[in-house]
Structure 1
Amino acid sequence: MPKNNAKSHQTAKRLKLKQGDHLVAQRVLYTHHGLYIDEGYVAEYSLDYGVHLILLDEFIADSKLRLRCHDQAKYSPQEAVERAKSRLGECSYNLLFSNCEHFVNWCIEGKEYSRQVDNIIGIFPPLAMASMVKELSDSAFDVIYNKKDLKDAINQAAASSNINPIIKTGEIIEDVSGINVLNELEQQTAALKQNIKKFKSKRKSEISDLKQDIKDLQNTLINVWQNDEQY
């Protein structure tokens, strides 16, 4: 059990981490994954120590930390934490089949996969084709044996990074550089809309001021004309 977790506990509070969060630490050209347990501790799967607990500050080190959301979460955060604890001491790390990302995804979704590995393997055409065939085969299996709607199965397959090259490219960029292209695009679009809104508001204010100046000028001219008429 790691010791002296006061600093890591404060770091977790500052980052507003919650039990069961999927942590992603950006290393040089790859990402390292862990499951936030609580009180400043993270469960990780490493080559040297297997599944163990590590202090949050040690997990982050000098990396940029971000969270990964799970739309397909099968277990609650508390259940995910218990699943992680159930594997403490396991030492069967395998980069391709049982790495840190496999481990965290298993804790949360109940299935082991690593998009980082899948996408790198997918760069090679024969393996990429195999991944695509598997995705379509799994969808067909769901339709035949699990009575899944055909349209839903097709949409799910189309949304997979194994099928969609745009999604795959975005994931590879994020895993290598830490930049989430979709989030960056959304933020820039939101900023642009805000700037346009401010520009319109400013122009509206300027036009209003100009109209008032014209009105004041008209009133001045009328007053001058009326005064001339009196004389």
Structure 2
Amino acid sequence: MVLKYKATRITSLGSLKPGDHIRVCRMVYNHHMMVIKVINNGLLLRVIHYTESEYRQASVGAATSAALPSSFSLSNGTDIAKVKEENIFVDPQEDRVELLEYDDPEVAIHRGQNAIRRARSRIGENKFDFVLTNCESLINWAITGREETGQGQVAIVAGAAAAAAAAAAVGVVGLVAVATIGIPGLVLSGLTFAVGVGYNMKKKKDDDENNKKN
């Protein structure tokens, strides 16, 4: 059975408890985290999550790194994203923050400090994989023992379609250049597919032009 959530919007960080599974919802992605504690009177959260590594921040720049959350990074076990415990600023008045509870509460076999210990056991891990091992699957594993994620499969289909459209509009060279400086995760997730589609489209166009000349 696939894990399903009941999502409750959080308007005050003070209502969160250690071991809670939360996500911050953006326009094109959701970022999942485990709450360790609320600090600074609810202005900061200490969390464990799969996030951009120092290597990625140094290689592409802080602004670009922020635009490419771990949920939509492309990695194959490289040091692009890693599991970290850190303090982060979250404003529930500006960001949509949701507490996630499971439709079947019996699947949450690890709770509170036990779930936190499990998540901490993977700190430093850099085996991020967009489809199978991402920020969502990490927290699900810590709480349920099941490393499941649904957002990778959904987004990779949407991303492929978005990236194919981008490839048609700007061409393969342009798309690769945009990807280098950072674009929304949906397009990145379909980059490989789009490059193939864009290449074939460009080749067909060139062949048609050559045929007309001949």
Quickly name the TM-score band, shorter chain normalised. 0.3 to 0.5
Give the TM-score normalised by the residue count of structure 2.
0.46
Q: Looking at CA atoms only, which structure, 1 or 2, has the larger radius of gyration?
A: 1
- By relative contact order (CA 8 Å, sep 6+), the higher-ranking structure is 2
More helix by share: 1
